[in-house]
A and B are shown apart, each in its own frame.
Chain A
Amino acid sequence: MTTSTAATTTVLKSLNGAMHAMMEADERVLLIGEDLLDPYGGAFKVARGLSERFPERVLTTPISEAGFVGVAAGMAMRGMRPIVEIMFGDFLMLAADQLLNHISKYRWMYNDQVHVPLVIRAPMGARRGYGPTHSQSVEKHILGMPGLHVVAPSVLHDAGALLRAAVLDDLSPVVFVENKLMYARRQMSAEGGRIGDLFARATSERYPTTTVSWEPFDRADVTLVAYGGMVELALEAAETLFFEDELVVEVVAPSSLQPLDLAPILDSLKRSGKLVVCEEGTAGAGFGAEVISRVSAEGFSLLKSAPKRVAARDYPIANTRSLEDMILPQVADLVRSCRSG
């Protein structure tokens, strides 16, 4: 696949570097979660080196997801800027009550007298053989909660910059979805409208949407919306379709799932008229459903064919590779959906 000349660092290093820089510069920033202390540095090593440099501000916790998410919320309400690390994103649902009945509500319910500037980092996703309870993408279950922001970097974003924006510039609580496979990947950043050989543009929002194309945005056949770990698969599918079918697929990668900026999706649809949305979690009441619903309501006349969604099949995620592959959305599924209709 085409890589960026500006590709400098992996997603993991980007996130780890951002946390080091923030904790160095700002005493309010602290990290809280399970097994964070060096030399272990967290289950995925994103926290490495932090506890040695900032022993007072890295709190390694008991196995109490609801408890430490709530503790961090209380600290946020009293002037700190806590970052919570959930060991596996699946465990975020243990703190569902904290998100639903506490954290997302406090600002509005208390008549704008408080803020909860809290960031909850949650490693999501499969393809590492961790099985049904350590591989899910559960973010769809927290979409639609008023007051909560949901951010998901991909290889088309600067993950560290997004994390910094979430911690320092966003007064709302943020769930920050990190795809586990992505940690080892290099970030690709757009320079002068290009990422390597590809044409690229990004919105100027706090959490930008990046769109890439194999043509200079003068024509397109398909708008393929993807976030997080699915962006890599989308890029691979788009490259295949360009060289094998001469189809121009614009990959639209939002970094904010909530609120969702529909403008770049509608803009791409003006050129393509065909929408495919993908996600690694299951389809029902998910991100794709939301995108298709909003496009239908706000840009129906742009659609020349029925929108499609690509998602996991309705099973738990299997432990064994062969079954896992059958359940998860693959590049071939994206290629097929982009070709059809």
Chain B
Amino acid sequence: MSQPVERGDIANPRARFERDGRPLRTKLFEQMMLIRRFEERLLELFGEGELFGTTHCYIGQEADAVGVINHLQDGDIIFSNHRCHGHFLVYGDRPELLMAELMGRVTGVVGGRGGSQHICFENFYTNGIQGGFMPTVTGMALAEKMKGSGNIAVAFIGDGTLGQGVLYEALNMASLWSVPLLVVVENNRWAQSTPVERELAGDMVARGRAFGIDAGEIDSTDAEELFGHFGDIIAKVRNEQRPHFEVIHTYRLCHHSKSDDMRPEEEIERFRKDEPLIGARAWLDEDEARAIEARIEARVEAAVRWSREQPFPTPRHLDERVARPAPMAFEASASDAGEGA
């Protein structure tokens, strides 16, 4: 970001995005680049044995996060899932907290208690049970409506999660009670090792419509197009205070988690030509793209360095929470246009 992040905007991606005076395409590319490099670095760290456990990368789907989340403002709620790095990085813009969480440090987003599948940062939440949080996020949106706050909630789910029954209980109630909830289905065409044709009968969009919920779909990996599309949808959910169900047809270019990928290589290659970052990079001139890449590289490296220095939890941290660290100094230096720190 070319402007310093103000404390008051910690939970306001829209304000941060609007204050950054650069062209829309530049900003979208930089955010997607952060997600991409962050995750590529994660996978390297797993490969080198520095990270332990598992993680679910978002590579190929970055345009969804930037298209949706940059429209969310202070008080708006996001409930995301196991594949949440992209959502978190656009919402919170704090790669070091997520890196520290994945490294199991006390200064991670939730002090090492949750890992990326189970985090909470201001009004951003995730849970690793597919679909199980759908009633919760419906209740959150309902509470906001009852309080008259004007806030809305956004749920991110995958195509495979459409198999979960509790999701339909939640959609039914969201419609009955006219709850300001946007459900974003990221159809990346696979659920773990199962292709969508083997897990889903019937029509995706009709699932929303069956409950009397406005529903639509978009087949795109173009961040600018998605940004425009969701700007309208989110304004409608906010103004009309009722739910919306939107499917994004996209593709997961990486494995499901770390190293499990048995999909046909030809299929992955076919989708690779549509991947969001290649298209977005072509919007920029070469110098600008390189400067952004250098800055992102520096941010990600600084996040790794900082996280490595953070302490691991001790028995007292079973009960004690460590205060969230302020944004790091490197944020300021890394954002001095052009130069890598």
Taking Cβ atoms with an 8 Å cutoff, the residues of A that contact B are: 30, 56, 59, 61-62, 64, 66-80, 82, 97-98, 101-102, 105-106, 108-114
Contacts and interface: CB of A to CB of B under 8 A. Distances in A.
B111 A111 contact: yes
Given A62-B172, A64-B169, A102 B140 contact: no
Given A70-B139, A114-B120, A64 B172 contact: yes
Interface in B154-186: 165-166, 169-170, 172-173, 176-177
Contacts of A79: 143, 147
Contacts of B136: 70-71, 73-74, 77, 102
B114 interface: yes
A196 B141 CA distance: 50
Interface string B121-156: 000010101001111111111111011000000000
Given A78-B144, A113-B120, A101 B139 contact: no
18 contacts: A64-B169, A68-B135, A68-B169, A70-B138, A71-B139, A73-B135, A74-B141, A75-B139, A78-B139, A78-B147, A97-B129, A98-B132, A102-B133, A106-B120, A109-B118, A110-B110, A111-B321, A114-B120
A71 B177 CA distance: 11
A111 to B, nearest CB: 4
Nearest to A67: B169
A109 B109 CA distance: 11
Given A75-B142, A110-B119, 17 more contacts: A30-B146, A61-B173, A62-B172, A62-B173, A66-B135, A66-B165, A66-B166, A70-B132, A70-B170, A71-B139, A74-B143, A75-B146, A78-B147, A101-B132, A105-B118, A109-B110, A109-B118
B163 to A, nearest CB: 14
A75 B132 contact: no
A110 B109 CA distance: 8
A111 B144 CA distance: 23
B176 A62 contact: yes
Contacts, number: 116
B113 interface: yes
Contact of B135 (A56, A67, A105): A67
A280 B176 CA distance: 38
Contact of B133 (A56, A62, A70, A78): A70
| Interface size grouping (class) on chain B | 35 or more
A67, A80, A97, A106: residue with the most chain B Cβ atoms closer than 10 Å: A67
Interface of B: 77, 109-111, 113-114, 118-120, 125, 127, 129, 132-144, 146-147, 165-166, 169-170, 172-173, 176-177, 321
Given A97-B129, A102-B129, A114-B120, A74 B142 contact: yes
Specify the main secondary structure of chain A where it touches its partner. Answer: helix
Contacts of B113: 108-111
A78 B119 CA distance: 16
A106 B126 CA distance: 10
A102 B176 CA distance: 23
Nearest to B115: A109
Contacts of B132: 70, 97-98, 101-102
A74 B169 contact: no
A166 to B, nearest CB: 19
B139 to A, nearest CB: 3
Contacts of A78: 77, 139-140, 143-144, 147
